[in-house]
Amino acid sequence: MTDDKAEILQGTLDLMVLKTLDVMGPMHGYGLARRIEQLSDDALQVSQGTIYLCLVRLVQKSWITAEWGTSENNRRAKFYAISKTGRKQLLAETRNWERVSGIIGKLLQLGPEG
Amino acid sequence: MLGALRELGAHVRAFFRTRQLDSDFDDELQSHLAMLTDDNIGRGMTPDAARRAAVIRLGALTSLKEQHREARGLRMVETLLQDLRFAARLLVKQRGFTAAVVSTLALGIGVNTAVFTIVNGWNLQALPVDQPDRIVHLATRDAAGRHRGVSYVDFLDWQKVSRAFNGLAAYAGASMTVAIEGQPAEHLEGTFISVNAFGVLRERPTLGRDFWPEDDRVGAEPVAVIGHAVWMEQFGADPAVIGRPIRVNGSPATIVGVMPAAFRFPVLSDMWLPLAQMPGLATQPRDVRPLAVFGRLADDVTLEQSRTEMSAIAAALAEQFPASNRGVQAIVERFTERFFGPPPVIILVAVGFVLLVACANAANLLLARAAYRVPEMSLRSALGASRSRILRQLLVESLLLAALAGAFGLLVAWPIVRTIAAETADFGLPYWTRLAFDGRVFGFVAAACVATTLLFGLAPAWKLSAGRTGEMLKDSGRTLGAGLQSRRWINGLLIAELALSVILLASAALLVRSALTVYQADRVIDASMLLTARISLPPAKYGTPEQRLMFYDQLEARLASIPSISSAAIGTALPFWGATRRDVVLDSDTDASASGGRLALTLAIGSTYFETVRLPLLRGRSFDARDGRPGQQAAIVNERFVEAYWPEQDPIGRRIRLMDAGATAASPGWLIIVGVARTLRHSPGAASPVVYLPFRAQPAETVALMVRGQGESAALARLLREEVRMIDPDVPVHHLSTLERLSQQSRWIPRVASSLLTLFAAIATLLSAMGLYAVTSYSLSQRRSEIGIRMALGAERRQIAWLFLRATLGYVVLGVTIGISGAIAVAQLLRGSLVQTSALDPLTFAGVVVLLGTVAVIACVVPAWRASALDPAVALRHD
């Protein structure tokens, strides 16, 4: 049961990271964590460190790339950027998400008479 | 697919850069913390509080790092390495235990590796030609079930009719006397062979040309292809050797080709001549079968299909030529199988038993140690290790033990393989055999390690990992490990070990007795200081019996006149080897043309044979100069012949007739028995009936020579060569040896079989004794407090010792009893290999029981007696 929950969470987090990087351009781990916290209105109550497990996975899949750089506050930080395959994946995942949420939405709108 | 592969690649790379990536991630986390702290300070926190809040917000660092590593690396490999590291540490720590298990298994794996190396080197080697598994050997079996060759005419018919082969070729090995201008004649192992043979094998000469079809026509100019060694040694690797004239068996021939270095087909050939040059072959009748045939299976034809086709062809020939071919079947086998047959089952089973005993012993050591590991396993299990995780860890330990044993096993196998290789060096084994540790042997060792791991490691690991956490922790493990179930396992394995040891000991004892019987029987003659050699008269020069007799008479006279030679003799065969098997008809038989299945080995001997070999004549007389002349048809039989065919009768003056085995030709004349000789073996194994014929009656082209004299055999050999050269320089002396060596060679198989089995039995017995010792000591250590109480209550030392002895002796008796029943069954399988030794020899079995019983009792008494010497106070405090 806990496993299932984590899996859904994981998939969602992957998608959020990809989308954020796609929209905002290269970001470091801390920035991503902050951004996602803001977007989800702090609904995802997980420790910030979790973001790195997601990031390393995405790097291994070559959906994103990582490179050391300097942050806006002049601190050394690792910056992540979405790759070409990552964009393709994002597109596919987005479509899939829309399709699923569309079905779920319709399902939830069904009244007892429908 | 590509993505998945790339991902796997990333994981593998990450696995090998673990340390670097760890520190990289550490930097990243530090940078994250710094930024988070900065922001917290920006919100008005004190630096200390800001930092603390940051750490909490980021999460547990250690666990995060661990998860990070798992997410990017190879989790399975990492845990495996972890297990290996742990196992290695444990084995180093428990050195005594490790040494005991590794040496036990190393013995088991070692002897198995040695046997596999030999089977691999002899039975499993393929011909070194293209697609060797497609090359098959063809021969025949006559109506009486005897293995025969193929007649020239049959071969031509097979070639014409068969469709299952991409070419059929025939060959016949022959001693060849080769004279190169300006050098003395040399003897070579040569082969008459079909001109298409090299093509069928897909081999070609390195120099010159292959045979042409024209070379096989009657009257073609005689040509020869020589082997690489001959080219190097006799011709100094001269490329101009092509076209050189030589004399082979006294006839001229021209060298047309040189074969590659590694090619000595079919066995150890140094020279090949077209089949057409084989004397008399073209006119031979269908019932003379001197050829061996081989072929390459056609594409898509299986061995089975070729057999079907060949039996149809054989049946058709039998119908067409009933006089020569009735009941003659064709045999098709894989080529290399023809030479070694299937691997020796007795040895394979025996060596497998040794491994089983070793595994049982190792399993017992592991089970005994398991008792001490129960707390550890309980703790692991309590901390959340799954059963499969614990099982894997224990099996990794066992695998490490087995791998060590495999490495040491190679060290055990090496001297055995070297010894066998050295002993068989001059046996004339086929050129494709090779005793070496090759890839297949290493593969075997690896497989043996895995198999033994499962055999000795699985049961203890399964048991140990099965524990219920709570109970084990509560009981502190020690007593539970010695539980009833565990003891039952240990005792069962012990009984199995003892039983297998008894079977091995009994089999070894039977084979040793049999080998000794043969050895003793061979002592009837004095084989020391007896030089042996063969001489081959070139047929072109010595075509008639008279010419040959003249040569031999001259040779005998010359040798008799040399003072350092005390006696010399000629014969068609040497003792222990190579006599001709013939059917025997007795004068009392009603049907004078049917032998009724009586067989005898026959050989022709010169008049000084018995004197030179020092084989006593029991009755009658030896041959003299008149015997063998027309009208003087004499024969001498051996004692065995009389026992078998004329028991309790006087053989002198009786008559026999000898028929070539399977031949249907007109009956030969009667022979009168003039003497009876002591029995001497003329074949490997048991002594058979032998008929000696006067040499004058069949002066062969190739004969054996025996010379007894003073001085070194090397000097004697030089002398012999010189004398032969003086008579005719074209006659080579070859196969120089001593009768002692020949008798050893002829007893080689029983000797090696009995030695190996003795070695196996000794190892098994040693291991069983070790097992008994270990188990008795173990049960003692489990019952220390009990001993203490008993002694405190006044038990005597002897009573305590007996207490332990009684427990183990019961298993010894049970193991030995089961073993004896097993040994009786196995002895039936050995029956065929035993010479004049009963398979149920009571003395042998009694000896085995006494031997194993003594060893077993010692193995039990020593620890039991030591146990009884315990100080009760110490024993009680132990708990």
pTM surpassing 0.80?
Answer: no
DSSP codes of every residue in B161-230: H--SEEEEEEEEEEEEEEE-TTS--EEEEEEEE-TTHHHHHT---SEE----GGGGSTTPPPEEEE-HHH
Residue carrying the six token digits 């003793």: B520
Identify all chain A residues contacting B14, using CB atoms and an 8 Å cutoff: 60
Question: How far apart are the CA of A97 and the nearest CA of chain B, in angstroms?
Answer: 22
Give yes or no for residue B184 having a pLDDT over 70.
yes
B879 against B286, higher pLDDT: B286
- A71 contact B CB<8A: yes
% pLDDT > 90, chain B: 30
Give yes or no for residue A2 having a pLDDT over 50.
no
Q: Which ipTM was obtained for this model?
A: 0.84
Please give the Cα distance from B838 to B514 (Å, whole number): 9
* Range scoring the smallest mean pLDDT among A105-109, B339-343, B365-369: B339-343
Dig out the tokens for B581 from the structure: 């098997």
Task: Give residues with Cβ within 8 angstroms of B251, minimum separation 6.
Answer: B222, B277, B538, B540
Question: How far apart are the CA of B200 and the nearest CA of chain A, in angstroms?
Answer: 56
* Range scoring the smallest mean pLDDT among A2-6, B75-79, B542-546, B838-842: A2-6
- What's B624-640 look like in SS3? CCCCCCCCCCEEEEEHH
Dig out the tokens for B841 from the structure: 């020899």
Judge contact between B573 and B700, C-beta under 8 A: no
Please give the Cα distance from B501 to B819 (Å, whole number): 7
Q: Alpha-carbon Rg of chain A, whole angstroms?
A: 16
Contact A48 B71 (CB under 8 A): no
Give the nearest partner residue to A71 out of B6, B35, B60, using CB atoms: B35
Dig out the tokens for B413 from the structure: 């196998």
Cis ω before B322 (30° cut-off from 0): no
Question: How far apart are the CA of A48 and the nearest CA of chain B, in angstroms?
Answer: 5
Give pairs for B828-835: CB < 8 Å, separation 24+. B829/B345, B829/B346, B830/B346, B830/B507, B830/B510, B830/B511, B833/B346, B833/B511, B833/B514, B833/B750, B833/B753, B834/B510, B834/B511, B834/B514, B835/B514, B835/B517, B835/B518, B835/B685, B835/B686, B835/B750
Neighbours of A67 (CB within 10 A): 9
- B61 contact A CB<8A: yes
Contact B11 A60 (CB under 8 A): yes
Give the nearest partner residue to A62 out of B6, B25, B32, using CB atoms: B6
| pLDDT tens by residue, A45-101 | 567 888 888 888 888 888 999 999 888 878 889 999 999 999 998 999 888 888 888
| pLDDT tens by residue, B281-298 | 888 888 888 899 999 999
- A84 contact B CB<8A: no
Contact A28 B31 (CB under 8 A): yes
Question: How far apart are the CA of A98 and the nearest CA of chain B, in angstroms?
Answer: 24
The B residues from 598 to 637 touching A (CB cutoff 8 Å) are none
Give the pLDDT score at A10.
63
Taking CA–CA distances from A80, the nearest residue in chain B reads B28
